[in-house]
Amino acid sequence: MPHINLLPWREELRKRRQKDFGVLAFLVVLAMIAVVGAVHIQYNKMIDFQQDRNKYLESEIHKLDDKIKQIKDLDDQKRRLIARMEIIQQLQASRPEIVHLFDTIVKSMPDGVYYRKITQKNGVLVLQGVAQSNARVSSLMRNLDASPWLTDPKLLEIKAENIKGAGALRLSAFNLQVQQTNPNKPAEDQAGGGKAKGKAK
């Protein structure tokens, strides 16, 4: 006899297809989740790697900042030391100047000339005194100008002055200015622009 299938085959076929579709959809969803998860993990790794690099760069930047600060501090110390050395050198160089100055003042003073007051400021000497005559004041200025430690004498004031006592004396009260110089220094280094007049002996 011929076999006749009386079951609803179309309904079973539809159910089987729906089941296959559900399994396929489930597999696709799982694959998408796996892909998204892998991408997320990879991005997290990249982000962590970049953050580690950023932290390393920040630490190196801090180290460089500390080194730059140390270099600035060393530069400041260097400038202060150089300034102190220059002051010490200036003091050492000017130490013999006082000796030469007093020696020159004494040796340049001719007979009949007396000092009342001597002041010094910024390498400029102001000599105040009396002389027996104007000629002796001129002689004093020539002697001062001939010294290698003094230059450019200028007569600021001279006037007659009577000295009371045993016999009235008529003297010349003078006020003159002279520039102190150091012949051992270059001309451009002279205080107040004075010019050197040769090496000191």
Q: Is the domain of 53 the same as that of 117?
A: no
Q: Are 126 and 175 in contact (CB under 8 A)?
A: yes
Final residue of a structural domain among 70, 91, 108: 108
54 pLDDT band, cuts 50/70/90, is very high
Q: Is the domain of 19 the same as that of 103?
A: yes
Does 120 score more than 60 pLDDT?
yes
Segment 7-36 mean pLDDT: 85
Q: Is the domain of 83 the same as that of 17?
A: yes
Establish if 117 belongs to a structural domain: yes
Q: Is the domain of 76 the same as that of 27?
A: yes
201 pLDDT band, cuts 50/70/90, is very low
Quick: pLDDT tens for 169-181: 778 899 999 998 8
Q: Which residues contact 161 (CB under 8 A, 6 or more apart)?
A: 130, 170, 171, 172, 173
Q: Is the domain of 104 the same as that of 29?
A: yes
pTM given for the model: 0.48
Closest CA to 140 of 172, 173, 104, 108: 108
Q: Is the domain of 127 the same as that of 98?
A: no
Quote the percentage of the chain above a pLDDT of 90: 41
CA gap 136, 113 in Å, rounded: 7
In this predicted structure, what is the pLDDT of residue 59?
Answer: 92
Establish if 51 belongs to a structural domain: yes
Q: Is the domain of 84 the same as that of 176?
A: no
Q: Is the domain of 152 the same as that of 64?
A: no
Final residue of a structural domain among 108, 124, 153: 108
In this predicted structure, what is the pLDDT of residue 91?
Answer: 74
CA gap 198, 196 in Å, rounded: 6
Question: Total structural domains in the chain?
Answer: 2
Does 124 score more than 80 pLDDT?
yes
Domain that holds residue 138: 111-193
Final residue of a structural domain among 108, 137, 171: 108
In this predicted structure, what is the pLDDT of residue 4?
Answer: 58
The DSSP element (H or E) to which 154 belongs, if any, is strand 150-163
Segment 49-73 mean pLDDT: 92
CA gap 163, 168 in Å, rounded: 6
Give me the CATH number covering residue 178. Answer: 3.30.1360
Quick: pLDDT tens for 62-109: 999 999 999 999 999 999 999 999 888 877 776 777 788 888 888 888
Burial level of 110, CB count in 10 A (0-12/13-18/19+)?
middle
The phi, psi pair for 158, rounded to 5°, reads -145, 135
Quote the percentage of the chain above a pLDDT of 70: 84
In this predicted structure, what is the pLDDT of residue 180?
Answer: 86
Burial level of 147, CB count in 10 A (0-12/13-18/19+)?
buried
Q: Is the domain of 24 the same as that of 102?
A: yes
Q: Is the domain of 20 the same as that of 76?
A: yes
Establish if 200 belongs to a structural domain: no
